[in-house]
Each structure stands twice: as C-alpha cells, then as structure tokens.
C-alpha cells in the first residue's frame, strides 16, 4: 500500500518533490525539537493548489490520513505524526504573488514565510502588523490556520482581522477559492472563517489575501519597572487615553522572568535593575518620529512624577529599541533554563491577571518537581504565557501542572488557548472554555467537511 501511495504521489508532484527514506525525512519534525525523528510514510511537497487537490483526492479515495506541515513552530502537538500517516509540507508553495498598493493587500501562497511578507510590504511603505518570535520561520498558511496572535494584537487584532481572502482544499480534494480583496462582503456565510483557526482540520489553506496598513514612520519604545499589578493596569489606561490610538504594544513580564532573561548566563543586558515585581514593554507607532518620541517620553515622565511607575528607560536608538524588545521576544533564553519545559498560552480577564498568576505561581512552586516558573504575556489583550521548568518529567507531572494552570479558567470565562491553538496537547481541556453544545457543533463541522477523518485527524477534537 505504501509503495502504491508513493508511486501515485510521484505521478502528481514528481520524484524530486517527495521524501520517503528515514534520513531524508529527519528535518521535518519540529523546528525546536529536531532530535525527535519524524514518523510518517513520506513527506510530499506540492507546488500548486491543483497538486494539493490531486493528492487529497487520492488520499480520500484510499482513506489515507494526512498531516499538514507549515513552519513547524507549533507548541501544541499540531504536527505530531504517526508512521501510518502522510505529511503534506507546503514549503515549495512560497510565492508572494502580488502586492496591490491601491487596495493595500498582499496575496501569497501558504508556504510563504511571514517575515518575507512583512519585508515585502515594508518595501512598498505598507505594514503587515503580525509580529511574533517565530516570524522568520512561520509560514503564512500556518499563521492563518491557527489564527496566530503576537505582539500587536492590542492595536491590530488577531490574524483573523487581517484576512480578506482564502483558497483552501477540502479533504476530498475540492478547491474552495474565495480570493477577494474587498473588506465588505455580506453575501451569505463567510466561508473563509471556517478555515481560519481550525488548525488544518477542515481544509488545507493554500493561498491567502491579507489586508495591509499604511506603514508608520516612527516607532518609539520604553521599558518600565512597576511595583504592583494595579499600577500596570493604571499605566495601560493612562497610555491608551493619551496616545490617541498610537499605542501598539504593551507587554508584561514578571520579575522571575526578567531576571532569567537578563541573568549572567544570558546574552541580553538588563536596561533596568532586577528589583521590580513587574516590567512593562511599551511601543507606540506613528508618523512623526521626533514628536512621537517626545510624546511618549513626556507621558513616561508624568507616570514617574505621579508614582504610577517606579522606573523607566526610553530606547534612544534603533539598536537600543531592538535590545529592549529582544528581552521580550527571545524566549529561547527561558527554554534553555527550563529543563523538560511546559509552555502555556491562556486568556484571563485583564483585571484578574495579577492575582491569578500569583496564585498559579505559588501553587506551582509547591510542587516538588517544578524547578522554575516564568510568566509573561500580552497583558493588554489578556493573553498570558508560562514556561515551566521541571526536574523530571512524566504524564502524571504534566497533568498536575496542567491542572494548576487550566482549572481556574472556567470559573472566570478564560481560555486554555489564547493564540497557539488546541492541537493534541490541549484536547482534554477544551471543555474548560467551550460548552458541550459548542463542542458538539465543532464535531458536526468536522464530520461534514471530513467524514472520513483523514485530515489532521484527532487534532482539537476526539471523535470516535
């Protein structure tokens, strides 16, 4: 059966676009976990939507399970693969097909790297405001299929808000193409929304049209030291009110995380002392560099005078700005210090973040197998991350830590996933933030689109 499948795939994509030996497949597992070998029949690299369609038609006819690979930076088991499954990797569908300066849109194949899209838009003085640590390897199809967030969600919204058009291939090979540049379209169901955030379980996104913004010509930043969480919220309200829509980033880091990021073992230099319980990274985007810098500087000065904050440093050059934001973005520093680390990505109502994180840290530190706890996140949109280090690792330990983080969320209307998705790792906890009726409706959608359960099977939902 496997050889018959491989021969058929070669007929569709050519022999050079399929890997089926162990050594060849090794890199296609996870970008940060390269020591884990890929278990799969083969990795196939289509170069067009039509080829994806032909592959899926054959897989549908033989009930062959398929896993979709993008940039392989997911953190929720979204690309985990069995030896009996086929991998479709979209690496070779990486063209940026058009930048329309008049409609302010960019059209790209799903395998295009996000940073390349950002740079291409910038060359036309336009902004694609998606920004997160994996932008140099994340593929836009994966970004859209997981509805990724990042550092500027507060101002520009999630990926969903930037998607105007989508082309996707259904599990049976049918091509659904809704590649429109228009913002308003109330002609029935908005079908593209079914693919955005569905983690490749309903269809394979092969092409997208994204909405761009006019590029700012100024970027001003500061890092701030704060004594208590009430002041964090106070600073957010103060800057929102006085920056008149220019506030684009408001990131929070707890003291333990800041210390780890700027320790002697790190390559990052602390711009502020390590004595404060909270550190806030502030970014404003505008069009008048000198005036915008002075405006943020004046507001930070006022916050110091009124003791809303305790300390602050303004970035006075591009180099300083980059250095400050590296402390927030380069989470590999934390991962290096957290053996057997577990990653979390949760949503909490903003007023409750301070107490809930403190409670979680206290509970985690009481567990004998926990070695370190690093909280940080996008506080302006209620999204908090944890990286938790362990002295040992097994299923029971993983569950104990999961319970500490996830159990309190249901009572406050939180979410077990703010931006990373559900994949395999969070399926057990989906009911903490979704009702039984919602989950049943999700299952109905999955069964309608993929009745054979061949596309990213068992991701998000458990369906027998």
pLDDT digits (tens, 9 = 90+) for 361-414: 999 999 999 999 999 999 999 999 999 999 999 999 999 999 999 999 999 999
Task: In whole angstroms, give the CA distance from residue 161 to residue 153.
Answer: 10
Is domain 218-329 given the CATH code 3.40.50.970 in the classification? no
Please, what CATH class does the domain formed by 338-433 belong to?
alpha beta
The pLDDT of residue 153: 86
The pLDDT of residue 335: 81
The pLDDT of residue 338: 81
Kindly provide the residue ranges of all beta strands, DSSP E only, lying in 129-185, ordered along the sequence: 163-169, 175-178
Output 73 or 41, whichever has higher pLDDT.
41
**pLDDT over 80 (residue 287):** yes
- What average pLDDT is seen over the chain? 92
**pLDDT over 60 (residue 34):** no
Q: If pLDDT is split at 50, 70 and 90, which confidence band does 339 have?
A: confident
Name residue, tokens 């991350």.
385
Q: Listing from the earlier edge strand, what are the strands of the sheet with 86-89?
A: 18-19, 42-44, 86-89, 66-69
Task: In whole angstroms, give the CA distance from residue 261 to residue 269.
Answer: 9
Note if the pTM is more than 0.85.
Answer: yes
Q: Listing from the earlier edge strand, what are the strands of the sheet with 105-109?
A: 96-100, 105-109, 204-211, 163-169, 175-178
**pLDDT over 70 (residue 22):** no
The pLDDT of residue 23: 53
Any long-range contacts for 439-445 (C-beta under 8 Å, 24+ apart)? Answer: 445/194, 445/202
| The pair of three-digit structure tokens given for residue 248, joined into one six-digit string | 């684009």
* Residue extents of the structural domains in the chain: 2-92, 96-214, 218-329, 338-433
**pLDDT over 80 (residue 118):** yes
Q: Do domains 2-92 and 218-329 have the same CATH topology?
A: no
Alpha helices (H) in 124-203, listed in sequence order: 140-145, 153-156, 192-195
What is the percentage of the chain residues whose pLDDT exceeds 70? 96
**pLDDT over 70 (residue 108):** yes
Q: Which CATH code for domain 2-92?
A: 3.30.43.10
CA distances from 436 to 111, 407, 441, 445 (A): 35, 17, 9, 14
Which CATH number is correct for 96-214, 3.30.9.10, 3.40.50.970, 3.30.465.10, 1.20.140.10? Answer: 3.30.465.10
Q: If pLDDT is split at 50, 70 and 90, which confidence band does 78 have?
A: confident
**pLDDT over 90 (residue 177):** yes
What is the percentage of the chain residues whose pLDDT exceeds 90? 79
Q: If pLDDT is split at 50, 70 and 90, which confidence band does 71 have?
A: confident
The pLDDT of residue 167: 98
The pLDDT of residue 360: 97
């Amino acid at each position: 059966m496997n050889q018959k499948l491989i021969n058929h795939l070669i007929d569709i994509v050519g022999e050079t676009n399929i890997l089926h030996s162990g050594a060849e497949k090794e890199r296609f597992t996870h970008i940060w976990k390269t020591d884990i070998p890929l278990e799969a029949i083969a990795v196939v690299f289509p170069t067009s939507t039509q080829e994806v369609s032909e592959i899926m038609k054959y897989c549908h006819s033989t009930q062959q399970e398929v896993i979709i690979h993008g940039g392989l930076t997911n953190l929720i088991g979204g690309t985990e693969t069995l030896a009996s499954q086929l991998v479709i990797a979209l690496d070779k569908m990486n063209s940026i097909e058009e930048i329309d300066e008049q409609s302010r849109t960019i059209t790209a194949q799903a395998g295009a790297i996000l940073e390349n899209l950002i740079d291409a838009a910038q060359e036309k003085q336009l902004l694609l405001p998606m920004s997160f640590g994996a932008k140099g390897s994340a593929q836009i199809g994966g970004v859209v299929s997981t509805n990724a967030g990042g550092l500027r969600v507060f101002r520009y919204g999630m990926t969903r808000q930037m998607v105007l058009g989508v082309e996707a291939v259904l599990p049976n090979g049918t091509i659904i193409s809704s590649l429109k540049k228009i913002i308003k379209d109330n002609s029935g169901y908005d079908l593209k929304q079914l693919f955005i955030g569905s983690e490749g379980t309903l269809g394979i996104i092969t092409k997208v049209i994204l909405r761009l913004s006019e590029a700012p010509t100024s970027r001003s930043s500061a890092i701030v030291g704060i004594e208590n969480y009430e002041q964090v919220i106070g600073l957010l309200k103060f800057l929102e009110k006085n920056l008149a829509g220019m506030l684009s980033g408001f990131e929070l880091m707890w003291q333990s995380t800041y210390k780890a990021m700027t320790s002697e073992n790190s390559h990052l230099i602390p711009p502020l002392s390590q004595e404060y319980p909270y550190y806030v990274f502030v970014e404003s985007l505008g069009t008048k560099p000198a005036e915008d810098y002075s405006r943020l500087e004046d507001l930070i000065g006022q916050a110091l005078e009124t003791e809303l904050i305790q300390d602050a440093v303004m970035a006075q050059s591009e180099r300083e700005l980059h250095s400050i934001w590296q402390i927030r973005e380069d989470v590999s520093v934390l991962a290096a210090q957290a053996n057997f680390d577990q990653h979390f990505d949760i949503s909490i109502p903003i007023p409750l973040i301070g107490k809930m994180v403190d409670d979680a840290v206290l509970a985690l530190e009481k567990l004998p197998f926990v070695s370190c706890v690093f909280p940080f996140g996008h506080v302006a949109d209620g999204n908090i991350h944890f990286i938790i280090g362990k002295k040992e690792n097994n299923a029971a330990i993983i569950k104990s830590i999961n319970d500490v983080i996830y159990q309190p969320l249901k009572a406050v209307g939180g979410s077990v996933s703010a931006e990373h998705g559900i994949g395999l790792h969070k399926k057990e906890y989906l009911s903490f933030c979704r009702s039984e009726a919602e989950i049943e409706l999700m299952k109905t959608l999955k069964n309608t689109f993929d009745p054979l359960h061949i596309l990213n099977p068992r991701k998000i939902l458990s369906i027998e």
